[in-house]
Amino acid sequence: MSEHILWAESAEEPAPQTDATLQGVVDVAVIGGGYTGLSTALFAAQAGMAVHLVEAEEIGFGGSGRNVGLVNAGLWLPPGQLIKALGPEYGPGFVRLFGEGPAQVFDLIEKHQIRCEARREGTIHAAHSPKGLEDLRTRAEAWEKLGAPVSLISAEDTAALSGTQAYCGGLLDRRAGTVNPMGYARGLARAALGAGARITCGARVTGLRRDNGLWQVQTGKGALAARQVVLATNAYADGLWPGLTQSWTEINFFQIATAPLGPEAAAILPKGQGLWDTATIMTSLRRDAAGRIILGAMGRLHGDRTGGLSAAWARRRLRRLFPDLQIPAFEGAWDGRIAMTQDYLPRLCRLEDGVWAPMGYNGRGITTGTLFGRALAEVLRGAPESSLPLPVTTPQPQPLTGLRRTALGAVFSANQAFRSVL
Ligand SMILES: Cc1cc2nc3c(=O)[nH]c(=O)nc-3n(C[C@H](O)[C@H](O)[C@H](O)COP(=O)(O)OP(=O)(O)OC[C@H]3O[C@@H](n4cnc5c(N)ncnc54)[C@H](O)[C@@H]3O)c2cc1C
């Protein structure tokens, strides 16, 4: 299998120059160059702290350079369930903050002039069935009660906005939008460097131990000492902190991108919204600035952009959604890992005194990583922990995560096989 990650090639922001020498003592060592790590580094550096971010591969190598690019408000759970799950102390504030999440992301993009194809036309959560539509109705009512610019749209309006008759309605969230996800990650890195943070890529952290009151961060390219550490490795965590990866179930999500399309595809998402559906095995659909269609679904990439099961799935899906479209060539095919928690809530964990680990974003990381990084930077410089959007916890190992990952992977692959012929 060979991946072609569209965003790495199409992002207008270049990969930043990130070869700072690893040495000395810093206030904060950030491990992981995705949204969480980059946002932490940006805001901590802006606050005058000495920050060094260390990334094993390159900026955006993890979920941040591979995702769909839907800048969504809220989380997987609807607001009422979130408030219930988080309780009166954290629930209402969390829902308010995450409702405003896209605005914070788009403000940052504007402030730092991040070139990431940002469009704020909203997103469509499309109902794949009448039951899906009922779920969306409940979600829409809950957000409307909170005054959010969210509305349930008819099957006709969904067809006009998406270009397909496949859905029986949808929820249009005008707070949301789309970005080129790698462009956003690289732009955050540029902003963090501009604020004085140091970044080193291609340096996997292999050891983290406390010595004389400082955390020693060991890599193949040298070491540094830090007063505090943010382990921002999320679903791409390796064995650096034993047991961490048992606190969520890893699932995969793959995407296929067509070649740029012209007038023949003008009716497909003509206003530029990103779309995902209510199916249990969720699929996504969006356009990019060059006019490509990008399709995605839960599961691993099988094959590559030229052939194999995933390309067959994408051809079949395009035919079902847009029967008049001549099936184009595919330019991109890739997948990524998502950390799913059992209750669909993210976590802000403290692993030990001075070591933080935000994680488990359940596929909602553009806003979550940005907001968590910002909030964590405040706490790193001395704000009380009670200012964080969630209570601080420790990682709780979930039973049978390996088995669940294998079982879900098998179900997703079977679905791809089934849907590529049906
Ligand atoms: C295919 C896909 C589609 C998605 N779609 C959306 C979407 O449309 N909207 C949305 O909001 N969210 C989406 N998500 C979720 C979102 O991408 C993630 O939640 C988010 O990118 C997580 O950011 P992060 O910074 O926490 O982690 P990541 O971006 O995963 O970064 C972790 C980094 O840590 C590095 N690392 C790991 N171990 C080490 C080590 N030992 N030393 C140094 N570095 C290390 C990795 O190389 C990696 O770059 C999607 C995710 C995927 C995979």
Q: Which pLDDT band, with edges at 50, 70 and 90, does 420 fall under?
A: confident
CA of 145 to the centre of ligand 1 (A): 32
Kindly give the number of the ligand 1 atom that is closest to the alpha carbon of 204: 42
Pick from 381, 346, 340: nearest CA to 367:
346
Q: From ligand 1's centre to the CA of 69, what distance in Å?
A: 12
Pairing label, strands 25-31, 222-231? parallel
Tell me which residue has tokens 């680990």.
357
Contact by Cβ (8 Å): 417, 309? yes
pLDDT confidence of 1, banded at 50, 70, 90? low
Token pair 């595919």 is found at: 330
- Reference 349, options 256, 216, 234; nearest CA is 234
pLDDT at 50 over 70: yes
- Band (376; pLDDT cuts 50, 70, 90): very high
Distance 238 CA to ligand 1 centre (A): 13
Is the CB of 39 inside a 6 Å radius of any atom of ligand 1? no
Neighbours of 326 (CB within 10 A): 9
Residue-level pLDDT at 129 = 97
Question: Using CA atoms, how far apart are residues 369 and 81, in angstroms rounded to an integer?
Answer: 21
What is the mean pLDDT of the segment spanning 105-130?
98
pLDDT tens-digit series, residues 331-371: 999 999 999 999 999 999 999 999 999 999 999 999 999 99
Whole-number mean pLDDT of the chain?
96
**Could you tell me if the CB of 3 is within 6 A of ligand 1?**
no
CA of 180 to the centre of ligand 1 (A): 14
Q: Return the closest-CA partner of residue 219 out of 200, 237, 192, 245.
A: 200
- Please report the domains of the chain, with CATH numbers, ordered by start residue: 6-67+182-247+346-399 (3.50.50.60), 124-179+249-341+407-421 (3.30.9.10)
> For 315, which DSSP code?
H
Give me ligand 1 centre to Cα 266, in Å.
Answer: 32
How many Å apart are CA 420 and CA 317, to the nearest integer? 7
DSSP conformation letters of 345-376 = --EEEEEETTEEEEE--TT-HHHHHHHHHHHH
CB distance 75 to ligand 1 below 6 Å:
no
Q: What is the pLDDT of residue 359?
A: 97
Average pLDDT on 62-67 reads: 98
- Whole-angstrom distance, CA of residue 165 vs CA of residue 84: 36
What's the confidence (pLDDT) of residue 398? Answer: 86
pLDDT of residue 71: 98
Distance in angstroms (rounded) separating the CA atoms of residues 257 and 314: 9
Q: What is the mean pLDDT of residues 183-191?
A: 98
Q: Which amino acid does the sequence have at 16?
A: P
Question: Measured from the CB, is residue 207 less than 6 Å from ligand 1?
Answer: no
Kindly state the average pLDDT of the residues 235-258: 96
Q: Cβ(199) to ligand 1 under 6 A?
A: no
In order, the DSSP letters of 37-104 are HHHHHHHHHHTT--EEEE-SS-TTTTGGGTS--EE-SS-SS-HHHHHHHHHHHHHHHHHHHHHSHHHH
Q: How many Å lie between the centroid of ligand 1 and the Cα of residue 165?
A: 33
How much is the average pLDDT of 132-159?
Answer: 96
In angstroms, the Cα distances linking 92 to 26, 74, 136 are: 36, 12, 21
Q: Which of 293-302, 360-369, 373-382, 408-417 has the lowest mean pLDDT?
A: 408-417
Ligand 1 contact via 132 beta carbon (within 6 Å): no
Which amino acid, 414?
Answer: A
Q: Is the Cβ atom of 61 under 6 angstroms away from ligand 1?
A: yes
Distance 152 CA to ligand 1 centre (A): 30
The full DSSP string for 228-296 is EEEE--GGG--TTSTTGGGGSEEEEEEEEEEPP--GGGTTSSTT--EEEE-SSS-EEEEE-TT--EEEE
Yes or no: say if 90 and 98 are a contact pair by the CB < 8 Å rule. Answer: no
User: Residue 418: its pLDDT value, please?
Assistant: 85
SS3 of 314, please?
helix
Here the tokens at position 170 are 């949808």
Handedness of CA 75, 81, 84, 88 (dihedral sign): positive
Question: Measured from the CB, is residue 67 less than 6 Å from ligand 1?
Answer: yes
Is the pLDDT at 93 greater than 90, yes or no?
yes
- Of the candidates 124, 14, 66, 13, the residue with the CA atom closest to the CA atom of residue 257: 66
User: Tokens standing for 273?
Assistant: 């919204």
